[in-house]
Amino acid sequence: MSKFYIVATPIGNMGDITFRAVEVLKSVNLILCEDTRETKKILQKYDIHIPTMSYHAQSKLAKVEKIFEFLEEGKNLALVSDAGTPTISDPGAMLISKIKERFDDAVLVIPIPGPTAFVVALSASGLPTNEFTFLGFLPHKKGRETLFKEIAEAKRTMIFYESPHRILKTLESLQKFCPNKKICIARELTKIYEEFKTGSPIELLEYLNQNLVKQKGEFVVLVA
């Protein structure tokens, strides 16, 4: 029976990989990567010499069929993303669905837990954690305003990812739809310039406009 491992990798600090993740990555026949160049940084650091193959949102059906062939041959595979837990706001989710549909219980799908950016952000945000909704990446255009209206009316903590190119526009939208809600922005998690900043939308807008360097990096936005 083939094994297909979903292996979480660090979201910034290389030291956050687990012993079990390293052991699994050393034991499989092939590692599927979102970007092989990014994954090889981890493999080099932990002296892992296993072949890699790219699998990402643009991968064609032929790539999926090749993965199926490996599994049919009895090979064990691992799936990693560039950072964090594969399948969470990640194209790996579709691959897992296809594997389960094709093989049912003939292939063991085994999760190897580790970091996920939105959970890391929530744990240190100071916002309520008993109930929350994770929205992934917000749409760029269609449906975006509808989501902000939902966020404004929500009775639980709402969490989503945002890029440095859209963080100011996002805060402007939050100012428009929920100006009095408490917002936390978490930036560069587990890295040297990790930062958590909490305030109203207008306070955070003023902070980022006064500190242009703080607009860089990947953001997790949390709305109380």
Domains and CATH numbers, the chain: 2-112 (3.40.1010.10), 117-223 (3.30.950.10)
Instruction: Examine the pLDDT at 16 and tell me if it is beyond 90.
Output: yes
| 83 closest CA partner among 197, 191, 223, 203 | 191
Bridge partners (DSSP) listed for residue 221: 160, 185
The per-residue pLDDT for range 81-129, each reduced to its tens digit, is 999 999 998 889 999 999 999 999 999 999 999 999 999 999 999 999 9
**Measured distance between the N- and C-terminal CA atoms of the chain, rounded to whole angstroms:** 46
Nearest alpha-carbon partner for 224 in 172, 177, 187, 183: 183
Per-residue pLDDT averaged across 131-155, rounded?
A: 94
Q: Which two three-digit tokens encode residue 46?
A: 């932990």
What is the pTM (predicted TM-score) of this model? Answer: 0.92
| Model confidence pLDDT, tens digit, residues 34-91 | 999 999 999 999 999 999 999 987 888 889 999 999 999 999 999 999 999 999 988 8
| Contacts of the segment 198-202: beta carbons below 8 A, 24+ positions apart | 198/125, 198/126, 200/175, 201/171, 201/172, 201/174, 201/175, 202/175
Could you read off the pLDDT of 1-15 as tens digits, one per residue?
899 999 999 999 999
The mean pLDDT of the chain is: 95
Quote the pLDDT of residue 103: 96
pLDDT at position 96 is 96
Counting DSSP H helices and E strands in the chain, the numbers are 8, 10
pLDDT grade for 175, boundaries at 50, 70 and 90: very high
